[in-house]
Structure formats: structure tokens, C-alpha cells
Amino acid sequence: MIAGGATARPFITHHNELNQQMFLRIAPELYLKMLVVGGMERVYEMGRQFRNEGIDLTHNPEFTSVEAYWAYKDYNDLMEMTEELLDGLAQSLYAGSSVVPYNPVDHDGQPVLKEPLEFNFKRPYKKLRVVPELEKCLGVKFPEGSFESEEFLQWLIAQGKKHNVEMKPPLNIPRVLDALIGHFLEPQCTQPTFICDHPRIMSPLAKWHRDDHRLSERFELFVNQKELVNAYTELNNPLIQREEFLKQARNKAGGDDEAMSVDEGFLLALEHGLPPTAGWGLGVDRLIMFMTSQNSIREVLLFPAMKPTATVVTTYPAGTALSNGVPRLHSF
């Protein structure tokens, strides 16, 4: 009944029997963490998610993800697990080699890239920590104090304009930070790279960083400049989680239709006690693209969403014989 667990615009539907507006799910996260509360200390699900967003080479509104939650672990453990998983997968596919060739071709068999790539999944992977890396790229230090103030937002917007960063409204702090990361850090991530330790305001479900409470214990794995994995140490304090949901609700009221809503059922579960937990999600379709040298997500989906090319209207000459409104077939 609430689209939660990610920042995304949902598909809206209606349940006739309950006479209730409902949503296609954008992520299974909140429900899987409720299972951890209930005693399932390691749980995962592979399934379909639905996000009412754009369609391009690496985005489809319906896609497959796998999400996993592991009690008494943190995001450092999940970084190691991610490296082990992908390195082992590459070796199993490519005769013991961690190097995956990537040279997609079009429907005429012609190479899409000017030069073929290779993705080296041999561990360990490079790490880019958001604030220090952005400071290098911007040539300035981040202001001291809160990363959630109006003054910080205006400072971020000024930096974005100075460096000609595309920033789509509404301009709130998470969206501007995401634009800066997309402009400066993601282009550095052709090879498997962790972008980590995001400002906490970007991650309403993640736990604050143990060394700096303005940050979160979160990482995203990028390959070929595209996000493949998102993971973090889970926020398990119900009071702070409520505050984070309320911040999201204010962003939604301000026009951010990707922001989350307050989920009272999940908050009630947290009040019963979520143990220290690490959570992890991977986009299966993108992984298959990278491992099988495909340039478009459409090539790994049986029925991808496609924009209509034209509306076909069939007309018949006057006097055509009809059977129940359908042109009658003639025998020859």
C-alpha cells in the first residue's frame, strides 16, 4: 500500500476488492527487513521491481533485482561479498579469468564501441569516497557543519552552476548531490568501482557512518559507469528512521515524486527490534548485459518496454461485406 525501499516514482494501481489505491513495488527492502526483525537472520529475494521512469539503454520500467539482508554484518562485509561474488562469476564464465570481454555489436553485427573494453573483476576494487572525491573535482572543501541546511543547499547549487552540472528540479540536497556525483565520479567508473560513504541525507534507510555522523555507511558498485549494486549498513533506530521518513515526505511535498513516504508498518517493526544488519541489492539485467557483452538492456529482456512507433488504422472500401463487424473472408 506504500511504495518504499528506494527513491523512485512508482506505478499506481487500484485494488477493487479492498477499494484501495496501491502501488507496484519499487523494491522489496522494507518487507525483507521486517523478516529479519521476525528472526530470519539471512534472507534474500530475486524478483521483479517496477519503476515509472525513463527508458534507455540501461533502464527498463520492469526489471529484476536480487536483494539480501544479513544480520550482524555491515557494509564492509558486503563489499567483500560483492567482490567475491563477481570475481567468482567472471571466472566461472571465462575459463578461470577475472577479465570479462565487452564488445557489443548491433543487429548488423557491427561493433557498437570504437574500441572493445575489458572489465577486470579481480578483487579488490577501487573505492571513491564521495566527499573527498567531490572536493578534489570541485577544487574546494565542503563546509563544516550540517549537510542538511539551507545554506549547504545553496552552496551545492552554486558549485553545480559553476561547473555546468545539469541539475533537474526540484533542487533539494539529495538531488543536487546525486547530480554532482553523476557528473564527476561516475565517469571514473568504467572498471568495477565502489562509490561509498555518501552524505547521510542521500540515504534515508542507511545507518550513519561510525566516523562521521553526517555520512552513511553506504556503497554503490559501478561498472561501465552504470550502477550495478547498492548496499549499506541498515538504519535500525525507529526514532531516527521516522525523522528520515519525514524529511522524505517534505521533499515529496516540495515536488520530488521519487521521495519516499512514511511507512508506519515498517516503523512498528523497527520498534520491535532490528538487529545490526547489512542490506544489499543488485540489478540482474545489467549484470547479464555486462557479462554477455550486450549494449542495451532490451537484448537481455524477453519483452522490454518499447515506445509505440505509430498508430495503425485499418480502413475498408465502401461496400465491404462484414460478418459481425469484421470483414468476411472471400473464397477464391
The number of beta carbons lying within 10 Å of the beta carbon of residue 299 is: 16
Residue bearing cell 571514473: 188
| pLDDT reported for residue 319 | 62
What class does CATH assign to 78-304?
alpha beta
Q: What are phi and psi of 127, to 5 degrees?
A: -120, 130
Please check the confidence at residue 105 and state whether its pLDDT lies above 60. Answer: yes
What pTM does this model have? 0.90
| pLDDT reported for residue 308 | 79
| pLDDT reported for residue 323 | 53
272-331: pLDDT as tens digits: 999 999 999 999 999 999 999 999 999 999 999 987 777 666 666 666 555 555 555 444
Give the mean pLDDT of 210-222: 98
| pLDDT reported for residue 330 | 46
Q: CA 20, CA 23: separation in Å to the nearest integer?
A: 10
**What residues pair up with 44 in beta bridges, in sequence order?**
68
Cα dihedral value 224, 55, 282, 257, nearest 10: 120
Q: What percent of the chain has pLDDT over 70?
A: 93
165 contacts 220 by C-beta, under 8 angstroms: no
Give the mean pLDDT of 243-250: 93
Please check the confidence at residue 332 and state whether its pLDDT lies above 70. Answer: no
Q: What are phi and psi of 34, to 5 degrees?
A: -65, -35
Q: Tell me if residue 282 falls in helix, strand or coil.
A: strand
Q: By C-alpha distance, which of 77, 183, 70 is closest to 134?
A: 183
13-72: pLDDT as tens digits: 999 999 999 999 999 999 999 999 999 999 999 999 999 998 999 999 999 999 999 999
| pLDDT reported for residue 40 | 97
Q: What are phi and psi of 24, to 5 degrees?
A: -70, 140
Give the mean pLDDT of 157-172: 96
Q: CA 68, CA 232: separation in Å to the nearest integer?
A: 11
Q: CA 121, CA 98: separation in Å to the nearest integer?
A: 5
133-156: pLDDT as tens digits: 999 999 999 999 999 999 999 999
Question: What's the chain's average pLDDT?
Answer: 93
Q: CA 136, CA 304: separation in Å to the nearest integer?
A: 40
Give the mean pLDDT of 220-237: 98
| pLDDT reported for residue 167 | 97
Domain locations along the chain? 78-304
Q: Tell me if residue 206 falls in helix, strand or coil.
A: strand
| pLDDT reported for residue 309 | 79
Residue bearing cell 545507518: 207
Q: CA 249, CA 2: separation in Å to the nearest integer?
A: 12
Please check the confidence at residue 88 and state whether its pLDDT lies above 50. Answer: yes
| pLDDT reported for residue 306 | 85
